[in-house]
Amino acid sequence: MLTRETLKTLKEHGMRVIIVTKSNIVARDLDILREIPSIVMVTVTTLNEELSKKLEPGAPAPQKRIETICKLSDSGIPVGARIDPIIPKLNDNEDDIARLVKELASCGAKHIVTSTYKAKPDSLRRLCKVFPLHRAYWRKLYLEYGEKIHGYFYLPRQVREEILRKVIEKARIHGISISICREGLRLSNTNTLSCDGQHLFIYHPIHQLQHNNKKDSRGVVKWTKSWNIA
């Protein structure tokens, strides 16, 4: 109920809201989400349920998250997806990415945010413990050949570009805007007006009302500050 009470408070103060979640219970708050400028970004890293259980223990099954995206979209709430993080050998298969993006598009997702896994020693150890077959590969790829940026080990630039281009191309096919997050890359076809999806506010049912009523003396739309709820 914490999210619901937070949404009520933000509504009282005229705030816009971007919710980033893996949970399917966000649809419980549709009544409030319809009444405030809001966007929901649902993280779906894979459609493979067995992989998801290992990679995201405790999170709802991928299909439940897909159903949530469908429900939000059908109710008029602007919704997008985060395919994040993408990890070599786990969820970077091009056919799997194609199926995932197609599923997201069919449910009405309007935007995708994607990025590759950035390793820290502790998180990499945990990952290797769950997926020991890839331990040597990841350690070499990240720790020997990767780039260290702000305390994180990034994949080699060429590998990052190859992985991310798969998602960019599939999103382009389905007409979904896409942005990449914290990669330090300039890739073509990231056809988006914002990184986090805030350009989707214009699709919210009450946008036009606020657009008409909240203008300054020059006729410029005046927006209140946005809040991100993760």
Quote the pLDDT of residue 29: 94
**Whole-number Å distance between alpha carbons of 47 and 177:** 20
Tell me the CB-side half-sphere exposure of residue 56, using CA atoms within 13 A.
Answer: 23
pLDDT tens column, 170-199: 999 999 999 998 888 876 556 667 888 899
Q: Give the list of residues 6+ apart from residue 184 with CB closer than 8 angstroms, or none.
A: 149, 154
Tokens read off for 196: 């986090």
Residue 52 has pLDDT above 70, yes or no: yes
Q: Residue 219: which pLDDT band, with cuts at 50, 70 and 90? A: very low
42 and 13 in a single domain? The answer is: yes
Give the tens place of pLDDT for each residue, 5-45. Answer: 999 999 899 899 999 999 999 999 999 999 999 999 999 99
User: Are 15 and 129 members of one domain?
Assistant: no
Helices H / strands E in the chain, number of each:
9, 8
Do 50 and 109 lie in one domain? The reply is yes
Indicate which CATH number applies to the domain containing 221. Answer: 3.20.20.70
Quote the pTM value.
0.87
Number of domains in the chain: 2
Q: Are residues 146 and 165 in the same domain?
A: no
Question: Are residue 111 and residue 216 in the same domain, yes or no?
Answer: yes
